[in-house]
A and B are shown apart, each in its own frame.
Chain A
Amino acid sequence: MFSFIHKIKQWYKHQKLIKQSVLIPITSYDQYAALVKEAKDNSKNKVFSNCYMLPAEIKRLIHLKKFYKVKTEQGLAFADDEGDYYYLFLYVNMSVSFTFPSLEKDILIENVYYEGRKNKKQEIFESFLLDSGCEFLNTYRSIEDRPSLSPDKFFKKLEVLEKTLALEGKKIAIPSYKQLDEFEKVYRSIIDKFVQKKYTRKERKAQADAGYLYCITDESASIYAIAIKACVHGGAYGSRSDCQNNIYAPILVLYLFKDFYDNMPNNPVKEKEYMQSKGIGGWIAVDNIPSWRVYKMVGIKAAAKSMNQFIIRTTM
Chain B
Amino acid sequence: MEKLYTLLEEIRPDVDFRNITTLVTDGFIDSFDIVSIIASIEDEFAVEIPVDSMVAENFESAAAIMNLVNGVKK
A interface with B by C-beta (< 8 Å): 29, 32-33, 36-37, 40, 46, 49, 51-55, 57, 112, 114, 121, 145, 277-280, 304-305
Q: Check if A112 sits within 8 Å of B32, measured CB to CB.
A: yes
Q: Which residues of chain B (23-53) have a CB below 8 Å from chain A? A: 26-28, 30-32, 34-36, 39, 42, 48, 50-52
Q: Check if B27 sits within 8 Å of A55, measured CB to CB.
A: no
Residue B64 at the chain A interface, CB threshold 8 Å: no
Chain A residues near B56: list those with CB within 8 A. 54
**Which secondary structure characterizes the binding site on chain A?**
mixed
Q: Check if A36 sits within 8 Å of B51, measured CB to CB.
A: yes
Contact of B30 among A32, A51, A280 (CB under 8 A): A280
Contact of A277 among B11, B26, B42 (CB under 8 A): B26
Contact of B31 among A37, A52, A121, A278 (CB under 8 A): A52
Range for the number of chain B residues in contact with chain A: 20 to 34
Q: Check if A278 sits within 8 Å of B55, measured CB to CB.
A: no
Q: Check if B32 sits within 8 Å of A52, measured CB to CB.
A: yes
**Distance between B47 CB and nearest chain A CB, rounded to angstroms:** 12
Beta-carbon nearest neighbor of B12 in chain A: A304
Q: Check if A55 sits within 8 Å of B50, measured CB to CB.
A: no
Q: Check if A278 sits within 8 Å of B50, measured CB to CB.
A: no
Beta-carbon nearest neighbor of A29 in chain B: B52
Chain A residues near B48: list those with CB within 8 A. 40
Q: List 8 A-B contacts (CB under 8 A).
A: A33-B50, A52-B32, A54-B31, A54-B34, A54-B56, A145-B27, A278-B28, A280-B27
Q: How far is the CA of A55 from the CA of B51 in the complex (A)?
A: 8
